[in-house]
Amino acid sequence: MTDLLLLPGDGIGPEVTAQARRVAEALTPDLKIAEGPFGGGSFDAHGSPLTDDTLAAAKAAKAVLMGAVGGPQWASAPRDKRPEAGLLALRAGMGVFANLRPALCFQPLADASSLKREVIEGLDLMIVRELTGGIYFGAPRFIEDLPGGGQRAVDTQVYTTMEIERVARVAFELARGRRNKVTSAEKSNVMDSGLLWRRVVTDLHTRDYADVELEHILADNAAMQIVKNPKQFDVLVTDNLFGDILSDISAQLTGSLGMLPSAALGVAGTPGLYEPIHGSAPDIAGQGVANPLASILSFEMALRWSLGRPAEADRLYAAVGRTLADGARTRDLGGSLTTVQMGDAVLASL
Ligand code: IPM
Ligand code: MG
């Protein structure tokens, strides 16, 4: 049985995932690692961005570490064959409804942010993004021709009580192990789905998590507060689309998208899906300059959340911190190390 399935994917995905693999082989040599095709490369080779074999392998593994998908060469592929469609199908197929996206400021990088040092120093924010519902998956969705000319496009935002409650539960549980505060973001002032979101979170809080501090915020205000005073947040729970946007904003707080990992979790006992928050970065793909730390830290999250290896996760996390404290920097962090050299540096720290 596979412990860790690697889906390197497209663009810089294979480059950064290769460094996570080196770390995994050094730190946990007993892990059974396998690799599969995924994304645009899989579409080119097999006619689908997510083959039945890859999905079956993902569901049978203990954890899946993905690189990145997509690139300009697939922009005109049919929508359901695009690399991004493969990623959504993988998330849905694995049932990973809760996406944990930490925005954490490593002390040596406090000056790498575009915000003032005092605003982000010590930042430790966790976004919990609903990942298998909402407007990403809602039906109907279509583009139709209008009789008088022009077209009409429809996407549907839809949430059920069950979908909201299970992701909110993850947020409350996480908060209890952190600073005990949950902020729930929606647009209850204009959207019915936002109204239901607020009600369900409030009810769950009253019923099971009254010991946790709960705050509601409108999603647009959340965007503003994240750049104004991000340290006011502990756990921020929100829907799929708002989570997509707010997690990019919060990722940039830390200086580079190249640093941040994520974990997508389903019900207990099912495999988690781990991926760097950054995309395939076609502009630097193949040059060997991408920062592999987001991928390496995604493996760290896999050790912690799916592989039952918290001690090794702690060791790896500390090693990454030391690597940065020693001054190792890839280009995105203002340095000149290559992807492989950053991998070497982490291995040396380990
Ligand atoms: C993300 C990405 C994806 C998303 C894309 C690649 C489909 O932006 O993981 O945040 O929108 O969820
Ligand atoms: Mg995104």
CA of 281: how far to CAs of 26, 80, 115, 249, in Å?
A: 27, 21, 23, 17
Q: Is 136 a catalytic residue?
A: yes
Dist. CA 245 → ligand 2 center (Å): 6
Cα 246 to ligand 1 centroid, rounded to whole Å: 12
Q: What per-residue confidence (pLDDT) applies to 119?
A: 92
For residues 238 and 174, membership in a common domain is answered with yes
- pLDDT at position 252 is 85
- Interval 204-244: pLDDT, tens: 999 999 999 999 999 999 999 999 999 999 999 999 999 99
Q: Are 121 and 215 within one domain?
A: yes
Q: Which of 201, 236, 260 is the last residue of a domain?
A: 260
**Domain count of the fold of the chain:** 2
- For the record, the structure tokens of 81 come out as 């064959």
What residue's CA is closest to ligand 1, atom 1?
244
**Ligand 1 pocket by C-beta < 6 Å: which residues?**
70, 84, 87, 244
Question: Are both 169 and 253 inside the same structural domain?
Answer: yes
129 plus 249 within the same structural domain: yes
The closest ligand to the CA of 39 turns out to be 1
**In whole angstroms, what is the distance from residue 303 CA to residue 72 CA?**
33
305 & 246 share domain: no
Name the band, by pLDDT with cuts 50, 70 and 90, for residue 62.
Answer: very high
Asked if the model's pLDDT at residue 16 lies above 80, the reply is yes
Give 137-173 pLDDT, tens digit per residue: 999 999 999 999 999 999 999 999 999 999 999 999 9
Q: What is the residue range of 346's domain?
A: 1-97+266-350
* Co-location of 25 and 93 in the same domain: yes
Query: Is 116 found in the same domain as 256?
Result: yes
Active site residue 317: no
The C-alpha atoms of residue 338 and residue 133 are separated, in whole angstroms, by: 38
Structural domain ending residue among the three candidates 260, 283, 301: 260
The CATH number for 11's domain is 3.40.718.10
Length of the chain (residues): 350
Contact criterion met (CB below 8 Å) for 20 and 5: no
Q: Which atom of ligand 1 is nearest to the CA of 248?
A: 10
* One domain, residues 190 and 240: yes
User: What are the residues whose beta carbons fall under 8 Å from the beta carbon of 146, sequence distance 6 or more?
Assistant: 152
Same domain flag for 137 and 227: yes
Single out the residue in 260, 280, 306 at which a domain terminates.
260
pTM, full prediction: 0.95
Atom 12 in ligand 1: which residue has the minimum CA distance?
A: 244
What atom of ligand 1 comes closest to residue 240's alpha carbon? 12
Nearest CA residue ID for atom 10, ligand 1:
244
